[in-house]
Chains A and B, each alone.
Chain A
Amino acid sequence: MYLYLTFLLLFPLAGAIIQLACLPLGGYRPPRRLAEAVACLASFGALAMAVLAFAAGHGGTFHLVLRKWLTLPGFTSEMSLLYDPQAALMGLMVTLVAFLVHLYSVPFMRKEEGWLRYFFLLNLFLFSMLVIVLADDLLFLFLGWEGVGFCSYALIGFWYQEPANCRAGRKAFLVTRIGDAALLTALALLFSRLGTLSLSGINLQVAGLPPHLVELTGYLLLVAAMAKSAQMPLQVWLPDAMAGPTPVSALIHAATMVTAGVYLLIRFLPLLTLAPRVMLTLAAVGAVTALLGAASALAQRDIKRVLAYSTISHVGFMFLGLGAGDMGGALFHLLVHGFFKSLLFLGAGCLIMLLDGEHDIFRMGGKLRRCHPALFWTFAAGIVSLAGVPPASGFFSKGEILAAVFQQSGIGYRFLLVLALAAVLLSSLYGFRLLLIVFFGQPAPGAPQDVKRPPPFLMVAVLYPLALLALTSGLLNLPSSTWLSGYLGSPAPQPGWIMNSLDTLLVLGGLGLAWLSYGPADRLGLRNPLSLGALHGPLLSGFGLDRLYLTCVARPYRVLADLLWRGVDERLVHRGLLAPGYFLSWCGQILRRASTGLLSTGLQGLLLGAAAIFCLLALRWWS
């Protein structure tokens, strides 16, 4: 077990280090094939180790110490791992998706420069995420948490020649930093009270903590997860993160970045369950985000932004499930979402590549379906799963979350259930809107015409296993045979027939509505995106949160920075330091006149000085 887990971490790290070692060589570049092979092998090794560890684990919990890391008086930090069923499943999903994304990146990066940097960051990204998944020591976890943030920053701004991409990268980094600060505060709080940073230790002792402290820590963790997982109102970085290469988007959304927040909360669930108010807030954040994210996705024209808002919305579902106390459901939805969202992103990447970088769904058009049926069917599988049409996996994971919310008593959860059901309807609506416009619509005039070239083999090949998983991973936790919940040891709430039929009705309603408004029939005339009415603007811009942050946070900050720079630094500090300098210089100017360079001046000075000394001596002799 020790071996498997060590190598699970070491494979991607070794891959990253090998690529990094080649980076500064400058003139010498390793052959492209070699870099690709190293990166793919590293991720494949991680996948193999994850499978082996899963097989060897048998659902048990293992606590391993790799090595001592920091030892200070009164404080030790170890590189320790906590391998429990959640970590096992998460590790499997992360490595599987990452491996497929690595494979997909090989043809994707063929025509790009900077592939060495790309594969280095990709491997490092995987490593950091695996650290989050496996770490027991929270400082070690924080290392991975920051590593994920850094890699996402570097990969979102991968094409750094475009200033917009760099801005998007910076934005992602800065917004998630809010969460990092909250997480660090929570860790400090826990350490100061419990004297340990071990996750398993904290979860054992947490019952002895005073309730208000538990609540405070819970809120801090919630903020951390909200920033990382792009929940309202900190979701603003995720749509802009689409500036990165498409496989990176797939990785960020499905496996390595956005899910880290949910996973963190899953890890801390024993603490969170002690604070019911935090749980309710968590569920509320999730439900509101699920609804608003889905509504925003409805207004987008950029295929990647639709998917980004869809991620925000679905991660909201996971938060909701977690807030309702159903850890199994949240993790189930996380896995399922990982499969179908990476499938959709990778499929979208194929489409964008075929259309020479066209992102606008209204300019894609129906030819794609006839020329590339493989792309169409895999994409449709992803959409069906996303919308949660009954036999597909999304139906079961979402159904379990809804059932969990349904079982919670209290008026708050009832209200959230309504929000979630509306989000289910919208989810199906925007999902099928995307499918219908991209594959059935008439392309706008001036759209790229040459779409017949087949996409690279490998890029399509990785879509099949993902499509299969997106459709069938619901089998993990069917309402009748709940393998997953049993494995996790978390009871699965049973969605009754009312819940199921309501869910199905809403999904089919969304499908029908999408068919009527965006399908070939086009009866309601909603094709014009303005028909969303006055809502369209706010939905498109993500409710103007960007502008709000710019005016309320960025502008005062800038004014303050300007004041500190011009006012305090330049006027006060700078001039204050210059004043003594000027005084000394003025003294020098005066004394300079004494130095005439003439012999006589020197002699006069000598004489006067000698006379003065003699006078002094004479005075002392007399007195």
Chain B
Amino acid sequence: MIVPFGHVLILAALLFLLGACCAVARRQLLMILIGVEIMLNAAALAFVAAALHWGRAEGQIFALFIIAVAAAEVAVGLALIVAARQRTGSTRADDFNRLRG
């Protein structure tokens, strides 16, 4: 493996942080969803790198699982966003605060 394992992990961590910042900072529902996707993919990257580093298959299998979960999550998330948009005409996260205490 050409790229050192530590570098890949750092990249995965940076990606994860970027995704997290995106999910927390953005106010559009769609962008929050994208942030979550990025975080998932960062995790998948770390799994793949680990699988390569130790030469074992479980990490790659987990990466496949993550892709499947991400696909399902996107399907549900997008459907929810569409439904929210149809109900209220808005996709801004701050417009949905009916659970306020």
Contact = CB atoms under 8 A, between A and B. Distances in A.
A595 interface: yes
A607 B96 CA distance: 20
A506 B43 CA distance: 122
Interface residues of A, number: 12
Contact of B32 (A593, A594, A595, A599): A599
A597 B27 contact: no
A615 to B, nearest CB: 14
A603 B19 CA distance: 12
A578 interface: no
Contacts of B94: 598-600
Contacts of B32: 599, 603
Given A598-B93, A599-B32, A599-B93, A604 B99 contact: no
A569 B25 CA distance: 55
Interface string B75-101: 000000000000000000110111111
Nearest to B99: A597
Most chain B beta carbons < 10 A, residue from A592, A593, A595, A603: A603
A92 B29 CA distance: 99
Given A603-B23, A607-B20, A607-B24, A595 B96 contact: no
A621 to B, nearest CB: 15
Given A600-B94, A603-B32, A595 B24 contact: no
A161 interface: no
B93 A600 contact: yes
A594, A595, A599 interface centre (most CB from chain B within 10 Å): A599
Given A600-B93, A600-B94, A595 B100 contact: yes
A598 B32 CA distance: 13
Contacts of A607: 20, 23-24
Interface residues of B, number: 14
A115 to B, nearest CB: 65
B101 A597 contact: yes
A595 B101 CA distance: 5
A596 interface: yes
A592 B101 CA distance: 6
Interface in B6-51: 20, 23-24, 27, 29, 32
Nearest to A588: B101
Interface in A585-623: 592-600, 603-604, 607
Q: Which among B24, B29, B32, B94 has the greatest number of chain A C-beta atoms within 10 A?
A: B24
B25 to A, nearest CB: 8
A288 B23 CA distance: 100
B27 A600 contact: yes
Nearest to B96: A599
Nearest to A600: B93
Interface in A382-422: none
B100 A597 contact: yes
A239 to B, nearest CB: 68
B73 to A, nearest CB: 15
Nearest to A593: B101
**Which 6 interchain pairs have the tightest Cβ spacing?**
A597-B100, A595-B101, A597-B99, A597-B97, A599-B93, A592-B101
16 contacts: A593-B101, A594-B101, A595-B100, A596-B100, A597-B96, A598-B96, A598-B97, A599-B93, A599-B94, A599-B96, A600-B24, A600-B27, A603-B23, A603-B24, A604-B24, A607-B23
